[in-house]
Chains A and B, each alone.
Chain A
Amino acid sequence: MSSRTLPLLFLNLGGEMLYILDQRLRAQSIPGEKARKDEWTDVDRKRVMNDIIATMFNKKFMEELFKPQDLYSKKALRTVYDRLAHASIMRLNQASMDKLYDLMTMAFKYQVLLCPRPRDILLVTFNHLDAIKDFISESPGILNQVDETFRRLIETYNCLSDGEFQLIRQTLLIFFQDMHIRVSIFLKDKVQNSNGRFVLPISGPVPWGTEVPGLIRIFNHKGVEVKRAEFTAGNYVTPQREGSFELYGDRVLKLGTNMYSVTRPVETHMSGSSKNLASQAKENISPNPLAKEELNFLARLLGGLDIQKPAGGETGFRLNLFTTDEEEEHAAQTRPEELSYKVINIEATQEPGRRAELSRILGELVVAEPRPGSAEKGEDLLALMDGL
């Protein structure tokens, strides 16, 4: 397993999250003058995007992220995104957050699976970052943060060998193993089958550096080619050009670009019964002895991140990932037990001692007003955010 996988996982999933949130916010936005107090406007949307991106690319957060380490568990990672999605005035119900996470993970799983070369995962990441820079093009401060991370990625990853990238890819694929949630936009575009598996095309351009399959060349003991033979396999063609791994450039690869548009609402379908659920169910039900360890880490990473309460002091602007409130309610009730993330549900563990400890940590995470005696880290982060 590669210990350099987490930054790529985090940034790409984050990128997908931003695509989806941007689409939903646009779909639900009302022109400024006509909006009521509890309705979304363009200004609100930009603010939410800015807040989330600023939090995501926070310098100290990035420093921690880039340290060589093992991947988090699915639960732990989901909690990170939960915090991230709530880094602004936006609120998401459990059902919407579940749907958001499902979409994010299936999208990135698809991108990893279809990467032509292992190192093209970097191009996918760059595609996400290019789009993120577009979202905050009007905020030079945040743009700087993103560029910093971009440079860090180039520094860390451009020199890795194919073998190391393949290891990273394998680490990611193991993380996504047995996830088969059906996504309507994928089903419609025929990139996903009705059983939840992705379509792997056997035509199109081969990866850069690979030859089109079909040719056998035989050499004699002097190294001279003496025979040629052909065979058929698939319907491949030579690629046009290689994508750019620089700070700016044409990535060529389309994986990782924004596939959502305002007019295409995206649904996910849970399959109630699936042969592979046994392993998932086991993962969710047995208490994870490392959960506490990971939460400590998360608590450190997110430090004393201040969750800004909306002006009205009520629950805040709620974003619905579904088309109607009724749909959201229905989704929450009908989500198959095995597929629930049981994220904040730390009570899943039975030991009273552990429960107390975890609740204490959770308490530290949910921040209200300036905390007495909070670590300097928290204050640094606040200062950083204030400075933006």
Chain B
Amino acid sequence: SQAAWCELPTRVLLVLTSQRGVQMYESDGSTMVFWHALDVPEHPAAHSVFARGIAAAGGRFICVGTSFGAVLVFDIPPKGTNVTLSEVLEQHQDPITDIAAEQGQAQDGAGDLVTADDSGTLCLWSTGEEFTLLGKIPGSGSSCSSVTLWNGIVAAGYGNGQIRLWEAGSGRIRAQVSAHARWIYALDLAPLTGKLLSGAEDSFVHVWKLSRNPDTDDIEIQHCHAECVTDTQVCGARFCDPAGDTFAVTGYDLSEILCY
């Protein structure tokens, strides 16, 4: 199950995903605005059914991934409950792991949405009335567990502990980091500074700095800081502000949220 705040220009919705489907609530939790049930087979199937991966996109949509590999695109009205399923994107063959919208400045032709799946495949999209697939980056054996998109740079975290930076426009790899010794659970980006946060099962949280030189088009990633949350497998890590000056961490068996 996941929970995410989806910020759209006109409203903020709380979106929850689970084995049953998707639920959307008003930001004060007062009313359920919408719910979409996944087609659950009669008897428990060998393959799990669930929704996973949430992102607000294009100033108007909320995208949710599914275990079938499909991405559901919901059109959100400025207010009220008239949410409609606008499109179903079917480019992934494997369960969706994460979805991210462009948090900085989209580059020309680079798209403003990226979707990732269990095979490590990434799809780049341009949002709108109809979403267009702009490019596909094939996986190389490891699940892409989380993804962010900033200034045309896709930062992807993988189950084998790697972080890779891809150029959204061309789909080319621009950086490869042996970042963690275990499954990366969380990636977060601070859009004002380009700071990247990664948290993994190896109990480490790392802060990185992404940069893109507009003239030379050089893309870089630097390591800023390492934090070891002793004896804790980190499950969640998020910046608390858009500049990335503070961040919060959660872990397995941990009933506290740690703030740094």
Q: Which residues from chain A sit less than 8 Å from chain B, CB to CB?
A: 1-4, 68-70, 113, 116, 118, 161-164, 166-167, 173, 177-178, 180, 193, 197-200, 202, 206-207, 209-221, 223, 227, 229, 231-234, 236, 275-276
Chain A's nearest CB lies how many Å from the CB of B154? Answer: 14
Given contacts A3-B45, A3-B46, A209-B142, contact A163 B159 (CB under 8 A): yes
Contact B178 A220 (CB under 8 A): no
A223 and B165 alpha carbons, distance in the complex (Å): 12
Give chain B interface residues in 116-157, CB to chain A under 8 Å.
118-119, 141-143, 145
Most buried by A among B145, B175, B178: B178
Contact B174 A218 (CB under 8 A): yes
Chain B's nearest CB lies how many Å from the CB of A147? Answer: 23
Q: Mark B98-124, 1 if CB is under 8 A from A, else 0.
A: 000000000000000000001100000
Contact A216 B221 (CB under 8 A): yes
Contact B182 A210 (CB under 8 A): yes
A227 and B226 alpha carbons, distance in the complex (Å): 21
Q: Which residues from chain B sit less than 8 Å from chain A, CB to CB?
A: 19, 43-46, 48, 50, 94-95, 97, 118-119, 141-143, 145, 159-162, 167, 170, 172-183, 202-204, 206, 217-223, 226, 228, 230-233, 252-253, 255
Closest to A174 in B: B252
Instruction: List residues of chain B with CB within 8 A of the CB of A232.
Output: 226
Given contacts A207-B181, A212-B178, A229-B222, contact A69 B143 (CB under 8 A): no
Chain B's nearest CB lies how many Å from the CB of A9? Answer: 15
Instruction: List residues of chain B with CB within 8 A of the CB of A116.
Output: 182
Contact A207 B220 (CB under 8 A): no
Closest to A222 in B: B172
5 examples of A-B residue contacts, CB within 8 angstroms: A180-B253, A216-B177, A217-B175, A217-B176, A275-B255
Instruction: List residues of chain A with CB within 8 A of the CB of B118.
Output: 161-164
Contact B161 A197 (CB under 8 A): no
Closest to A3 in B: B44
A177 and B252 alpha carbons, distance in the complex (Å): 8
Instruction: List residues of chain A with CB within 8 A of the CB of B176.
Output: 216-217, 219
Closest to B45 in A: A68
Given contacts A217-B177, A218-B175, contact A202 B218 (CB under 8 A): no
Contact A213 B180 (CB under 8 A): yes
Contact B253 A215 (CB under 8 A): no
Given contacts A69-B44, A178-B253, contact A218 B221 (CB under 8 A): yes
Q: For the A-B complex with A207-B181, A233-B180 known, give 7 more contacts whose Cβ atoms are closer than 8 Å.
A: A68-B46, A116-B182, A202-B228, A207-B182, A211-B178, A213-B181, A221-B167
A-B contact count (CB 8 A): 140
Contact A219 B175 (CB under 8 A): yes
A166 and B174 alpha carbons, distance in the complex (Å): 28
Contact A276 B255 (CB under 8 A): yes
Given contacts A214-B178, A219-B173, contact A209 B231 (CB under 8 A): no
Instruction: List residues of chain B with CB within 8 A of the CB of A229.
Output: 222-223
Closest to B174 in A: A219
Chain A's nearest CB lies how many Å from the CB of B94? Answer: 7
Instruction: List residues of chain A with CB within 8 A of the CB of B232.
Output: 200
Instruction: List residues of chain A with CB within 8 A of the CB of B178.
Output: 210-215
Closest to B183 in A: A166
A213 and B221 alpha carbons, distance in the complex (Å): 15
| Other-chain residue from B143, B179, B204 in contact with A162 (beta carbon distance below 8 A) | B143
Instruction: List residues of chain A with CB within 8 A of the CB of B50.
Output: 1
Contact B223 A236 (CB under 8 A): no
Closest to B206 in A: A233
Instruction: List residues of chain B with CB within 8 A of the CB of A206.
Output: 161, 181
Instruction: List residues of chain A with CB within 8 A of the CB of B174.
Output: 218-221
Closest to A231 in B: B223
A178 and B251 alpha carbons, distance in the complex (Å): 12
Contact B46 A216 (CB under 8 A): no
Given contacts A193-B231, A206-B161, contact A166 B143 (CB under 8 A): yes
Contact B19 A1 (CB under 8 A): yes
Given contacts A118-B159, A163-B143, contact A221 B217 (CB under 8 A): yes
Most buried by A among B19, B253, B255: B253
Contact B202 A231 (CB under 8 A): no
Chain A's nearest CB lies how many Å from the CB of B16? Answer: 15
Instruction: List residues of chain A with CB within 8 A of the CB of B221.
Output: 216, 218
Given contacts A202-B228, A233-B226, contact A162 B142 (CB under 8 A): yes
Instruction: List residues of chain B with CB within 8 A of the CB of A213.
Output: 161, 178-181, 202, 204
Instruction: List residues of chain A with CB within 8 A of the CB of B226.
Output: 231-233
A213 and B160 alpha carbons, distance in the complex (Å): 11
Contact B160 A233 (CB under 8 A): no
A113 and B43 alpha carbons, distance in the complex (Å): 30
Q: Top 3 nearest A-B pairs by Cβ distance?
A: A163-B118, A231-B223, A211-B178
Contact A200 B179 (CB under 8 A): no
Given contacts A200-B232, A218-B175, A234-B202, contact A3 B181 (CB under 8 A): no
Contact B255 A197 (CB under 8 A): no
Closest to A216 in B: B177
| Other-chain residue from A69, A113, A223 in contact with B172 (beta carbon distance below 8 A) | A223
A237 and B48 alpha carbons, distance in the complex (Å): 35
Instruction: List residues of chain A with CB within 8 A of the CB of B45.
Output: 3, 68
Instruction: List residues of chain B with CB within 8 A of the CB of A221.
Output: 167, 170, 172, 174, 217
Given contacts A198-B231, A218-B175, A221-B167, contact A234 B181 (CB under 8 A): yes
